[in-house]
Structure 1
Amino acid sequence: MTIREKQLELIEEFAFLEDWEQKYEYIIDLGKELKELPEDKKTDDNLIKGCQSKVWIDAHHQDGKLFFEADSDGILPKGIVSLLMSIYSGHSTQEILDSDFEFISKIGLQEFLSPSRANGLMAMTKQIKFYAVAYQLKS
């Protein structure tokens, strides 16, 4: 699946959820499914600045694709970062750089989040793009 196809699928999934309580539960469930990041990867270099909770994102490049691992000490941010990982992990750096984050507004996520959590979400998306640029330059 392409990034765009994953984004469209997520938009459809959120459309079936009737209210924000259901959407909130869905995001939390995503976080519960996220594999815990090993302690040695919970470093200051992987820590996302601007998040209310601690959120770590690590990346590695393999066979022309970028793979992400992430974790958070907060249940909602963990769900949000899990959602982002499910969309962007396993794609080429160019595909990640060519993608947008419009799906976030289409599912209404920013409206649901407090301003500080919305800033954290934007910091996560910037870090994903940063990794894509960094690994593309290494290639």
Structure 2
Amino acid sequence: MSTQDIAAIIENFEILDDWEDRYRYLIELGKTLEPLPDEARTTANKVQGCVSQVWLVTHWKEGHASFQCDSDAFIVRGLLAILVAVYSGHTASEILAIDALDVFRNLQLEEHLTPQRSNGLKSFVERIRSDARQVLVTT
């Protein structure tokens, strides 16, 4: 995936007035994620707390994060694409300082998610933050 710029995503959401259009855009964002290889769909990479099947692999190169992730649900893939845009390229310390859920509040997405999806989103954010904390402990 060529990581989308979070500013561009926010701008595109602001242009779309209708929630049906916003959901379509969210699904399109999810399609930009490259499929996760089957060998990466392991228990260790599975994000716990998500109703959908969600996997995350965090890569660190020169102290900056990049992500491979996937889900079996279209809307969840779109949410993951937004989170990848929020967190990609940041250091572990920067990741811990970012309030990604604030981005979802500003996009008014949080209020349009089911409680299960909202909990899954929080689980995914916590997994990324956990990976960042782990890097800080080991370096």
Asked whether the two chains share a fold, i.e. TM above 0.5, the reply is yes
Q: Give the Cα separation in 2 of the matches to 1:15 and 1:110.
A: 15
Q: Give the Cα separation in 1 of the matches to 2:58 and 2:122.
A: 18
Correspondences of 1:123-138 after superposition (within 5 Å):
123-138=123-138
> Cα RMSD over matched residues?
1.3
Match of 2:25 in 1: 26
Aligned residue for 1:53, secondary structure, equals: coil
Aligned-pair identity in percent equals: 37
Q: Give the Cα separation in 1 of the matches to 2:96 and 2:20.
A: 32
Question: Normalising to structure 1: TM-score of the pair?
Answer: 0.90
Match of 1:3 in 2: none
Deviations 1:40-90 (A, max 9, x none): 111111111121210101112111111111001111111111111122122
Task: For 1:14, give the aligned amino acid.
Answer: F
- Which consecutive residues of structure 1, in runs of 5 or more, have no partner in the other structure? 1-5
Number of aligned residue pairs: give it. 134
Task: For 2:68, give the aligned amino acid.
Answer: E
- 1:126 deviates by 0.8
Any conservation in 2 of the 1:7–1:103 contact (CA below 8 Å)?
no
Aligned residue for 1:35, secondary structure, equals: coil
- 1:9 deviates by 4.3
Any conservation in 2 of the 1:8–1:103 contact (CA below 8 Å)?
no
